[in-house]
Amino acid sequence: MSSATMPANRLFTFAGVAAGTWRVDAVRPIVGESLPQVNFVNMLGETVPTPTTAVWLLRGIVSNERYVTRAEKTELVNKQQGLGRADSTRAALIPIRKSPAWWGLTQDERRAVLEEQSQHIKIGLKYLPAIARRLHHCRDLGPGEPFDFLTWFEFAPQDAPAFDELAAALRESPEWKFIDREVDIRLSRDAA
Amino acid sequence: MSSATMPANRLFTFAGVAAGTWRVDAVRPIVGESLPQVNFVNMLGETVPTPTTAVWLLRGIVSNERYVTRAEKTELVNKQQGLGRADSTRAALIPIRKSPAWWGLTQDERRAVLEEQSQHIKIGLKYLPAIARRLHHCRDLGPGEPFDFLTWFEFAPQDAPAFDELAAALRESPEWKFIDREVDIRLSRDAA
């Protein structure tokens, strides 16, 4: 789940709210505790004030990529498209937390689990450009964040089955043994 | 500059203050803008309130290591000693910022510059256990941090020349071409 290019805006807040842009179609706890039910989710940039009425707020920051090699990056950049496409009226917000065992691995060990064993990057590439995504890091925002990563995906309604396939493939991979909390939030918005 | 083990306390604030624990012996801007002169620096954990009278505050968080392999980590762990040794009455706080060119490199490229070209890890190992250190990450605390990393070093007075050697070796390495701001703050405290 690597990010595309570094946007000018790096810090994003996802707000679970009563009324907003992205309608919540389903919230499913995959591992560990779920999040309180909300009707809508808004994705807010740094300069947008966070709503005081939000049921929950999750913050994440776009950062440098931690695992991709130059060859993989070139392939990603050539294939991927940005967020905000007109026909991308479906989205998924997937907050995950990785276990202390993951964070105790060294870089070479984490890369081996993520790609050589789990093909995380290769699986993502397979679904480009249909499934656009942006990865937000939470773990180093401070010591009290509930998740380590928030991944945001956007796609057209006809690509929803492809997204299910992608999510299932990752969840069956050895990397997912290191996930100790995951919530799967599916969203939709009206076409512009 | 890898960190040892993950302390319970991850977020630290370095406060430039008028009176405190570590007396400032010298502040030297190596690249880019310096920091305002102060007489003392205090290192504060998460639970310690930050002083409202500080001249400057720099925050950093201890995180997972980004480059070391398992073999390197084993060697580091076997050789290193912790902060707070009774005879460690000298310290250095070295805030650095890396350039956009660095952050645009992929993981394999950054590792190649840091270790295969610059021997950053190997140089640090050479000065263990005399020079103890802890690396704090700032870049992903938020979008407005003035530095990317704060490294804190502690050593005995007789090891001050060895620390100078270590700092000089790193500054001559290819990795340092990617440093666009660096301040070198030398400190001392009274023996307990």
Q: Report the residue from A68, A107, A143 with minimal CB separation from B106.
A: A68
pLDDT tens across A61-88, in order?
Answer: 999 999 999 999 999 999 999 999 999 9
CB contact under 8 A, B137 and A140: yes
Residue A102: pLDDT band with limits 50, 70, 90: very high
Do the Cβ atoms of A143 and B61 come within 8 Å? yes
Classify residue A107 by burial, with Cβ atoms within 10 Å: 0-12, 13-18, 19+.
buried
State the average pLDDT over residues B19-33: 97
- Closest Cα in chain B, distance from residue A187 (Å): 27
Q: What is the pLDDT of residue A7?
A: 61
Nearest CB among A6, A72, A107 relative to B65 is that of A107
Residues of B in contact with A73 (CB under 8 A): 106
Taking an 8 Å cut-off on Cβ atoms, the answer to whether A140 and B61 are in contact is yes
Of all residues in chain A, the percent with pLDDT exceeding 70 is 96
* Distances in whole angstroms, Cα of residue A18 to Cα of each of A52, A53, A56, A58, A93: 12, 8, 11, 16, 17
Do A63 and B140 count as a contact with CB atoms less than 8 A apart? yes
Q: Is A106 on the interface with B (CB under 8 A)?
A: yes
How far A28 CA sits from the closest chain B CA (Å)? 28
- Predicted model pTM: 0.94
Of B46, B64, B109, the CB nearest to A70: B109
Mutate to test the interface with B, among A64, A70, A135, A178 (most CBs of B within 10 A): A64
By Cβ distance, the residue of B6, B109, B141 closest to A141 is B141
Q: How many CB atoms lie within 10 A of CB A87?
A: 13
pLDDT at residue B32 greater than cutoff 90: yes
- The answer to whether B122 faces chain A, any CB pair under 8 Å, is no
The phi and psi torsions of A95 (rounded to 5 degrees) equal -80, 135
Question: Which candidate in B70, B97, B108, B116 is best for mutational testing of the A interface (most A CBs within 10 A)?
Answer: B108
Q: What is the pLDDT of residues A111-165, one digit of tens each?
A: 999 999 999 999 999 999 999 999 999 999 999 999 999 999 999 999 999 999 9
Residue B39 pLDDT: 97
| A48 in contact with chain B, both atoms CB, cutoff 8 A | no
Percent of chain A with pLDDT over 90: 90
Residue B142 near chain A (CB below 8 Å): yes
Exposure on the CB side of residue B101, measured as CA atoms within 13 A: 7
Estimate the share of chain A in helix, then strand, then coil, as percent rounded to the nearest 5.
25, 30, 40
End-to-end CA distance of chain B: 27
CB of A10 within 8 Å of a chain B CB? The answer is yes
